[in-house]
Amino acid sequence: MIENHAAYDLHLHSYWSYDACAPVEYYFRKASELKLRAIAISEHFTMDSLPDIIATSRKYPDVRFIPAVEMTVRCSIGSLDMLCLGMPLEIPTEIEEIFEEYRQWQRDCGKAISIGMQSLGFDYTEKDRLELLKKYRPAKTIEKHGITHVQNGIQRTHFINSGYIKSPEEYGKLFEKFPRTPYPDAERILPVLKHHGALVMIAHPTNYFNKNDIKRMDALREELGFEGIECAHDLIPQELTPFYRDYCVRHKLFSSGGSDSHADHSDNPCRIATQHEFARHIGEGKWLDEIFERLKK
């Protein structure tokens, strides 16, 4: 457990992400209370929280926010999460088209899970997914995204309660039994975001990097062209944070830290992502100065 909170939190999800339930304002309020230097609300796949972020930031002028998004993309090792900082506030058509592609991807992914479950003899319908989504996401987000896939923990509980599986352990194995919806390709998506000024980093990279496999780190850096690494995150064993930081320094990459919060734990009846706590990570303050320097360019 980390004792003190960090000076910033550059990895956050509001209920505009399919698997999160925190209101945007929660992050601004907490950031203001804790006097954080900056936050980045990095939804999955779109910047649909941006109007909320801009409106809320007027109420909290002391909180600096960095426009951001988290994109999951397909590459040679499978799919991985890339955090993009310094996104444009006016979303260019080219990027809006990508976001729309991902909104469709989320509906397709949800539908494929229902079809897959039905092929195994379980009556998991579109309507069931909608009921589950309504448990933790406000209507305006469902209106915008449609009936997407569902947060894993909530879906798992539903599968157990419906008798589709007997234990949480069986949940992962279910998904090996039917085809998954492939994510869009990194080589097509990332250059567009970069072209419009985004600083792209690889998120919580411990599994992607096989912990500390430098050959693999070099190969992924070459393939994906990321400019930074999320070196501090609760999925990263604390002894690896300095290792990733050293790698960043050696290769002139920036370093970042984030909590990956998905919920306000004082108002989280569905118990979503309880392992993450706002502003809890061991990233250093000077990393943020380096990010600000790059964002100026």
CA dist., res. 168 & res. 265, Å (int) = 22
Q: Which is nearer to Zn ion, 13 or 164 (CB)?
A: 13
Q: Which is nearer to Zn ion, 70 or 227 (CB)?
A: 70
Q: How many residues bind Zn ion (CB under 5 A)?
A: 2
CA dist., res. 116 & res. 209, Å (int) = 31
**Residue 222 CA to its chain's centroid (Å):** 23
Minimum distance, C-beta of residue 152 to Zn ion, in the bound complex (Å): 13
Minimum distance, C-beta of residue 261 to Zn ion, in the bound complex (Å): 9
Q: Which stretch binds Zn ion (CB under 5 A): 22-30, 90-98, 172-180, 258-266?
A: 258-266
Q: Which of 260, 264, 272, 280 binds Zn ion (CB under 5 A)?
A: 260
Minimum distance, C-beta of residue 70 to Zn ion, in the bound complex (Å): 5
Residue 234 in the binding site for Zn ion (CB under 5 A): no
CA dist., res. 46 & res. 49, Å (int) = 8
SS3 sequence, 137-197? CCHHHHHHHCCCCCCHHHHHHHHHHCCCCCCCHHHHHHCCCCCCCCCCEHHHHHHHHHHCC
Contact 207, 79 (CB under 8 A): no
**Residue 244 CA to its chain's centroid (Å):** 20
Q: Which is nearer to Zn ion, 43 or 52 (CB)?
A: 43
Minimum distance, C-beta of residue 11 to Zn ion, in the bound complex (Å): 6
Q: Which is nearer to Zn ion, 117 or 279 (CB)?
A: 279
Binding to Zn ion, residues 48-107 (CB under 5 A):
70
Binding site for Zn ion (CB under 5 A): 70, 260
